[in-house]
Amino acid sequence: MHSGIRRWPPITRRWMQITLSGSVFMNMVIKKHAQEIDMLASQMIAEYVNKNPNRILVFPTGNTPLGLYKNLAGRVACHEVSFQNTYLVELDEYMGIAENDPRNLFKWLQRAFLDQVDFQDMRMYRFQADAADIEAETNRMDRVINDLGGIGLLVLGLGPNGHLGFNEPGSPFDAPTRAITLTPASIQSSAGYWGSSQTVPSMGLTLGMQALSLAQQTLLMVSGQHKAEILRQVINGEISPEIPATLLRTMQNVTILADADAASLL
């Protein structure tokens, strides 16, 4: 599938541009330390929002973006960027979890990020994870995205099994926003957030692959040695729903930001 890799631009930033097919390119930036990835991602997000103040932004939960969120909060405090006119749509949520449950992922994002920046409440859209009619709820989120012009900027972490949001292996590339059973690998990796795997809900709600695939711009952040093998498969393996993140290789305007440990097998 790869027809070429070239460095671009050669002097100012150490970027690699991977030619995937025809006009599809994936930008890849490898930095020695995860903090450099945080800084660069924050700069790219601020640039995007300053140019596109009215678009939908999607942010992940997890350990990877914590440094990014601190960095963005600093930029908001210094008036370098504002999220007042942007929309936020929640990427994924545990199913059946009430709004005030400490495991609620929107609450997690509030603690880690939203409480430190200036999104307007009325412009934030979250899953109601304990809705009686889950299908109606996930359809509503797809409608919100459509009505607001699609995802503008999509920021993602990389699951240990290559999931995007909670689109687990086997998720078709045109899957809608929906409920999904979490894999043992995802439950295991989430166990670290909540103390034990027993406390991790067995099902999630996730924006669908279809909505993600239409994002105007995408940043995938990957750090740590434990992500090296899955990142290698995402970039060099077969494009397949078995590794959902290979969807990125079919999309326009994707940048992978990786630290040296995560990129060590490339």
First to last CA, the chain: 15
- Say if residues 179 and 138 touch (Cβ distance below 8 Å): yes
* Catalytic residue status for 168: yes
Q: Residue 25 or residue 127: which is nearer to ligand PGA going by CB?
A: 127
Residue 216, C-beta contacts closer than 8 angstroms, at least 6 positions apart: 52, 55, 150, 151, 152, 153, 253
Choose between 25 and 65: whose C-beta lies nearer to ligand PGA. Answer: 65
Residue of 71, 93, 137, 163 marked active site: 163
Tell the smallest beta-carbon distance from residue 21 to ligand PGA (Å): 26
Q: Could you give the CA distance from residue 69 to residue 57 in angstroms, rounded to a whole number? A: 14
Q: Which residues sit at the interface with ligand PGA, rule CB under 6 A?
A: 60, 62-64, 157, 159, 189
- For residue 192, the SS3 value is helix
CB 58 to ligand PGA: min, Å: 13
Q: Is 42 helix (H, G, I), strand (E, B) or coil?
A: helix
Q: What is the DSSP letter of 123?
A: G
Annotation marks residue 79 as catalytic: no
* DSSP letter, residue 27: E
Which of 90, 168, 259, 261 is an active site residue? 168
Rounded least distance, CB 105 to ligand PGA, Å: 11
CA distances from 266 to 27, 125, 157, 234 (A): 14, 37, 18, 10
Task: Closer to ligand PGA by CB, 62 or 208: give it.
Answer: 62
Closer Cβ to ligand PGA, 25 or 105, answer by number = 105
Q: Given 38, 90, 92, 93, which residue is catalytic?
A: 92
CB of 25 or CB of 227, closer to ligand PGA: 227
Residue nearest to ligand PGA (CB): 62
HSE of 257, CA atoms in CB hemisphere, 13 A: 24
Q: Is 163 noted as a catalytic residue in this protein?
A: yes
| Per annotation, catalytic residue among 90, 104, 137, 161 | 161
CB of 198 to ligand PGA, least distance (A): 18
Minimum gap (Å) between residue 111 Cβ and ligand PGA: 15
Instruction: Determine whether 92 is an active site residue.
Output: yes
CA atoms within 13 A on the CB side of 75: 23
Which residues form the catalytic set? 92, 161, 163, 168
